[in-house]
Amino acid sequence: MLSRLRTTLALRPYISICRWAHTKEKGKPLMLNPRTNKGMAFTLKERQILGIHGLLPSKVETQDIQALRFQRNLKKMTDPLEKYIYLMGIQERNEKLFYRVLMEDIDELMPIVYTPTVGLACTQYGHIFRRPKGLFISILDRGHIRSILDNWPETNVAAVVVTDGERILGLGDLGCYGMGIPVGKLCLYTACAGIRPEKCLPVVIDVGTDNETLLKDPLYMGLYQKRDRSQAYDDLIDEFMEAVVDKYGQGTLIQFEDFGNHNAFRFLRKYREKYCTFNDDIQGTASVALAGLLAAQRAIGKPLTEHRVLFLGAGEAALGIANLIMMAMMELGLTQAEAREKIWMFDAHGLLVKDRAQKTDANQEAFVHDSQGDVRTFLDAVNTIKPTAIIGVAGAGRLFTHDVIKAMGTLNDRPIIFALSNPTNKAECTAEEAYTLTDGRCLFASGSPFGPVTLSDGRVITPGQGNNAYIFPGVALAVILSGVRHISDTVFLEAAKTLAQQLTDKELEEGRLYPPLSNIREVSVQMAVKVVEYVYANGMAFRYPEPLDKNGFVRATWWNTDYDSFLPDTYDWPGVSFSPKIN
């Protein structure tokens, strides 16, 4: 473990050997604040001067030893939820230690603080609750949101992640239990992109829930009412957006997360030209999926414009991915109509085709095609459309059946199979099913992690994880640093191309479509650098003067997890006499 704890120092070239931090806190409050608590790493002088001597055991520890204890305790645990509770407990007590270990063991711990375990944590939020995190704003607080923001102790917030809990991963309406999602997302803002944690604000908008189980649960922590879908809901969101920019500035990044399909698109359309905002379920998912397709085209040697894509699901994730694929195809020379002809969708009611009994909404109209005859099942759709790629984002479980996977293997030498639904039990198929049923020929990616698969001939294939964490932390860092006011879809197109370029030929040969998660911090840095270059080149940046060395500019802002010294900055005045002069 300790050999890994310093392997990423290349990302931390701007750390000074000794740093002082001014604090007015003394005594026990200093130890109770996770921002200032160092546990047994307080030096003897700090303990004596700050009034905490005797409140800790005699030993003075290094952060290395604290991290080793942290890791050993985690290894004793086998239950993911137990690990989540332990990790979040460390975050509540010692923020720098938490991020130190998370950053440097990110590939093992990301599935705990983020998908898939965070989904389980959200379902159990009221049962495992220990200390509140973030802001809880309810529909009953209309007219008072600014005063609630004033209660937040940090005044220099740069990024807000907000949810109303209606569509948490593939788990549905969890009401205020959805707070686990903004908390987890912002953990990755810091762990993957080095954004200072005090600049991050998680928010849940509590307007009730339609989840009958929660409404009957005595441990539920939100409003015991049906979800408010009246004009009051829209007014609340309007007031929230206005209050955020009034409090923290027009350039504050506001990321929408896990809103219902019907609200996600309309809020994106409503706010994208007025605020610095994006929807990760629509745009982040689209970017990481497109990056996987761009990597797949390298493996196959077939340009994106020659692929035909069939989606399982036609909600916000599918539409976001489809629109970005269409943009990429048009950039490569296709017309909009030609690009649309290559993208098909299949939802709970069948193919999106004209004159079907179930109506499509306005967001889906671009991908509605002429009827293809009697297509009843997804397997029928595969055999009729003959796609080169299938992308599952329905959140309905194992709908890429063995027959579907075999059909894809029959139709294509190298079928592309993306099972992107989260958490793991909602994935459309497993990596093992996809590889074994196609004799290892498929190019596979999933939303939640799957381990390496060993085939009958001894080959070992490492599946790719299409994790949004490859995209949103780096994009967020670039947006914050460059002062972007409005985030265009072209930013996510640029992010997808950047991510695909960071996959090496060796990694592609191993079966990966994305870089290893252990490299995600460097991936996020490169992502931020490329996006900063792009927004300045295209007149989207508002922070001037423009930095000449953008790589150095991005790396210089990286938050580090070394402990600060809380000793007062003392020094002598050499040669000064405090005695009066005598003639």
Biggest CA pair distance of the chain: 112
Residue 334 burial class via C-beta count within 10 angstroms: exposed 0-12, middle 13-18, buried 19 and up: middle
Residue 116 burial class via C-beta count within 10 angstroms: exposed 0-12, middle 13-18, buried 19 and up: buried
Q: Number of helices and strands (H, E) in the chain?
A: 25, 14
Rg (the chain; Cα; Å)? 25
Helices 63-75 and 95-104, axial angle in degrees (round to 10): 70
Helix, strand or coil for residue 399?
coil
Strands lying side by side in the sheet with 253-256: 135-138, 200-206, 159-163, 253-256, 276-279
Looking only at the bridges linking them, the beta strands covering 350-351 and 416-419 are: unpaired
Nearest residue to 22 (alpha-carbon basis) of 503, 573, 567: 567
Please give the sequence-ordered ranges of beta strands (E in DSSP) within 298-342, or none if there are none. Answer: 309-312
CB 454 within 8 A of CB 463: no
The alpha carbon torsion through 553, 554, 557, 560 (nearest 10 deg) reads -130
Tokens (6 digits) for 46: 């700090």
- Tokens 């990301």 found at: 110
CB 394 within 8 A of CB 313: yes
Tokens (6 digits) for 20: 């002082």
Helix, strand or coil for residue 260?
coil
CB 429 within 8 A of CB 455: no
CB-facing half-sphere around the CA of 97: CA atoms within 13 A: 28
Nearest residue to 487 (alpha-carbon basis) of 540, 533, 554: 540
State how far Cα 239 lies from the chain centre.
25
CB 199 within 8 A of CB 154: yes
Distance, CA of 526 to CA of 498 (rounded, Å): 8
- Read off the DSSP letter of residue 503: S
Nearest residue to 306 (alpha-carbon basis) of 388, 413, 224: 388
Active site residues: 114, 185
CB 450 within 8 A of CB 432: yes
Distance, CA of 516 to CA of 537 (rounded, Å): 30
Distance, CA of 321 to CA of 114 (rounded, Å): 21
CB 347 within 8 A of CB 367: no
